[in-house]
Amino acid sequence: MKALAGIGENKLEKKIKFEKTTFNRYTIYTLEGPALSITGFSTLIDRFCSAPPLEKKGRGGVKLLDINGRYIACRKYIHGGLLRVITKDIFFSIKRATEELKILLYLKEKEFPVVQPYGLIIKDNFVTKSLYILTVFEENSTDLSEVFCTSTRKQRFRIIKIFAQLMRHMETLGIYHPDLHLNNVLVTAEGTMKFLDFDRAHRKSITKKDMQRMFWRLNRYAEKMEKQGKLKVSIKERMLFLRIYRRLSGFDMAEAMKNKVNQKGFLSRVGWFFESLFYGNQGATNSKFEIRNSKLQK
């Protein structure tokens, strides 16, 4: 057993161990422990190479590997941003993968609901590397956005309450996630939530501005899904989320975001939700919102 290189400074991270095996151009890091042991690393690579990516799951693609009757989710790392067409999956170190692994293990230790980390696969492309993270697949689970769309009004309110509580919990644990969205969260067969993707997340002293950025990211994703007809969140439900967060944190996120909009004059850019939420029909130019708002007031 070896301590994972570059895994971190604190005592918890120094205790992290892994099994390292090299097979052809692949290096496999698997976490120690009876629940994570596997036999035959060559079998893992064979399954990895032959498994097709799941449809519409992750920008870089997610594969499902059957290893000795146990399903392992394998997600490929890929760059984001405007240059992702050029940079694609090209990396020069394994840091991005190990950073996410650290976050998952830290949250697991703190009993925050995340998927079980399994390990990493690193493909050597001679000069560059391709990175993959392995987690135990959550069977009979569904994306939070899908569950929300098919739930009753009472169930939706419960989902909103739990999600707001977990957002606050994540904040108190010092996790900043700049790319958080609803499809980063699963709902299990037991009705609990589990977070599964912490790519580019990191630990820090969380500020209110950090939380505002995370909330804006959630809102942008919700608006995108609404435009595609895949999600519908009412004004009342969004306000409930903000009120619960205010009660838990003591910080009025709605007021802070309203002031941000006023200062920068970005109403046309941030979409109909916050404009209509803060100003009602007077500020809303979107006819769909005006119809929704009139129904809400009746």
* DSSP string covering 111-155: T--BPPEEEEEEEEETTEEEEEEEEE--TT-EEHHHHHHHS-HHH
132 domain residue, yes or no:
yes
297 domain residue, yes or no:
no
* pLDDT at residue 263, as a whole number: 55
Maximum alpha-carbon separation in the chain: 67
Main-chain phi, psi angles of 109, to 5 degrees? -65, -35
73 domain residue, yes or no:
yes
Q: In the chain, what is the straight-line distance between the N-terminal and C-terminal CA atoms, in Å? A: 65
Total domains in the chain come to 2
* pLDDT at residue 13, as a whole number: 41
Residue at which a domain ends, from 117, 136, 155: 136
- Token pair for 18: 């892994």
36 domain residue, yes or no:
yes
298 domain residue, yes or no:
no
Q: Do 99 and 186 fall within a single domain?
A: no
Hey, CA dihedral for 156, 195, 116, 58, is it positive or negative? Answer: positive
Hey, CA dihedral for 254, 258, 263, 269, is it positive or negative? Answer: positive
Residue 238 belongs to a domain with what CATH number?
1.10.510.10
How far, in Å, CA of 123 to CA of 130, rounded? Answer: 5
Q: Do 74 and 41 fall within a single domain?
A: yes
How much is the mean pLDDT over the chain? 80
Q: Do 74 and 26 fall within a single domain?
A: yes
195 domain residue, yes or no:
yes
How far, in Å, CA of 141 to CA of 30, rounded? Answer: 24
Residue reference for tokens 């009120």:
243
Residue at which a domain ends, from 81, 103, 136: 136
296 domain residue, yes or no:
no
How far, in Å, CA of 118 to CA of 109, rounded? Answer: 14
Q: Do 32 and 168 fall within a single domain?
A: no
Residue-number span of the structural domain to which 24 is assigned:
2-136
CA atoms in the 13 A half-sphere facing the CB of 246: 12
pTM: 0.80
Q: Look at the chain and count its residues.
A: 298
Q: Do 171 and 281 fall within a single domain?
A: yes
Residue at which a domain ends, from 103, 136, 169: 136
Q: Do 99 and 169 fall within a single domain?
A: no
pLDDT in tens, 246-274: 999 999 998 888 776 655 444 444 444 55
pLDDT in tens, 105-148: 999 999 999 999 999 999 999 899 999 999 999 999 999 999 99
Greater confidence, 221 or 207? 207
295 domain residue, yes or no:
no
Q: Do 132 and 154 fall within a single domain?
A: no
